[in-house]
Structure 1
Amino acid sequence: MIKIIIISLSILAFGCGHENGKRTLYKYSVRNDSGRPITVKSFTSHEPALTPILTELAVGMKIKKEYLGGVPPGGYTYIDFFGKIGSPNRDSIIIIYGNLKKQVFKRIGCGGSERNPLSTCIYRKVKETFVFTEQDYENAEDCNGDCN
């Protein structure tokens, strides 16, 4: 009986550690090939009082981020790239091209444009790179120097 208790306790002690389970390395990046400097404002639409998280991208600049997921904390998606770990989940971004034009993207499921970096059906792999292009700039909405 004591032998069974010792074996059971050993299994519990060594089988429940947080290092157990598969860990996944998520590699995400974004690059600015739009021909204009970019500011990305990441925010939560249902919490307007929260300060947006800003990401600045000079022309030709590439930013890389890596996240280690598993048990715990769980998995990641490309949406995490524009936020901060531990902050409320951001569901919207505004892309500002040199304070001349802007685009607004919202987190969506499996619909909308392929050019939406928050699309959870398109950008959900372990390794993702999103490239802002000149075409993105051309398709953006004019804001006449007042894009904030």
Structure 2
Amino acid sequence: MKKLLLLIPISIILCSCPDMGESKHYKYTIANNSGTNIEIIPYISGVKNINQKKIISNGDSLQKELEVQPPYTSGLTMRHLITDSYDLTAIEIIFNNNKKIIYEVCPNLICTNKRNIFDVEYANDNIEIYTITPEDFQNATDCNGNCY
């Protein structure tokens, strides 16, 4: 009987522990289907950082995966594909040194341009793909072969 009385508190303690849940798997991709090679250059604290540029050939992609354990204090966003810096303020996408687009980090996560890579639409799921399209190339600003 004493053993049974001892087992009851132990089982209550074990049953009261919350289920920590399963790990979450994130997979984020920036795909280049623009028809031209691109470079993605981050702006750290407003300063263009060419040393951290990412080059993505046409038809290729940049990808990052992350496994997160409970209590899920971190995750993955498009900005993590570009740099680990928390001071990322913008990115520049350069198309074959002919045209470019600049996307700025959106204040309060509210972007007015729905193609902005920092829009929450591209960071609200465990698997996200942002595709750079021929339309992005067409809508980019011409820099006459000198985008740097």
Range into which the TM-score falls when normalised by the shorter chain: 0.7 to 0.9
1:92 matched to 2:109? The reply is no
Structure 2 residue aligned with 1:32: 32
Equivalent residue, structure 2, for 1:62: 61
Determine the C-alpha separation between the residues in 2 that align with 1:126 and 1:91: 23
Q: How does 1:106-125 map to 2 (within 5 A)?
A: 106-108=104-106, 109-119=109-119, 121-124=120-123, 125=125
Shift of 1:21: 5.5
Structure 2 runs not aligned, ≥5 long: 1-5
Matched residues, percent identical?
27
Secondary structure at 1:122 match in 2: helix
Native 8 Å contact 1:83 1:89 kept in 2: no
State the Cα distance separating 1:65 from its structure 2 match.
1.1
Once the 2 structures are TM-superposed, how far is the Cα of residue 75 of structure 1 from its aligned partner?
2.1
TM-score under structure 2 length normalisation: 0.75
1:82 equivalent to 2:73? Answer no
- Tell me the CA shift for residue 61 of structure 1: 0.8
Which is richer in helix? 2
Q: 1 CA distance for matches of 2:89 and 2:144?
A: 26
How far apart, in 2, do the equivalents of 1:112 and 1:67 lie?
A: 29
Structure 1 partner of 2:3 = none
Contact 1:42 1:52 in 2 (8 A): no
Once the two structures are TM-superposed, the CA of residue 91 in structure 1 deviates from its matched residue by: 2.6
* Rg larger in structure: 2
Cα distance in 2 between the residues matched to 1:50 and 1:96: 13
Name the amino acid aligned to 1:60. Answer: G
Q: Which blocks of at least 5 consecutive residues in structure 1 are unaligned? A: none
1:73 and 1:51 mapped to 2: Cα distance?
Answer: 30
- Using the size of structure 1 for normalisation, the TM-score is 0.75
Q: Contact 1:99–1:146 (CA<8 Å) still a contact in 2? A: yes
Alpha carbons of structure 1 residues 117 and 52: separation in structure 2 relative to 1, 3 Å: farther
Contact 1:101/1:140 (8 A) holds in 2? yes
Distance between the aligned counterparts of 2:88 and 2:21, measured in 1? 28
Give the Cα–Cα distance (whole angstroms) in 2 for the partners of residues 57 and 144 of structure 1.
21
Moved over 3 A (4+): 49-52, 70-73
Q: What SS does the aligned partner of 2:88 have?
A: coil
Give the CA RMSD over aligned residues.
2.5
Closer/same/farther in 2, CA of residues 51 and 147 from structure 1, 3 Å limit: closer
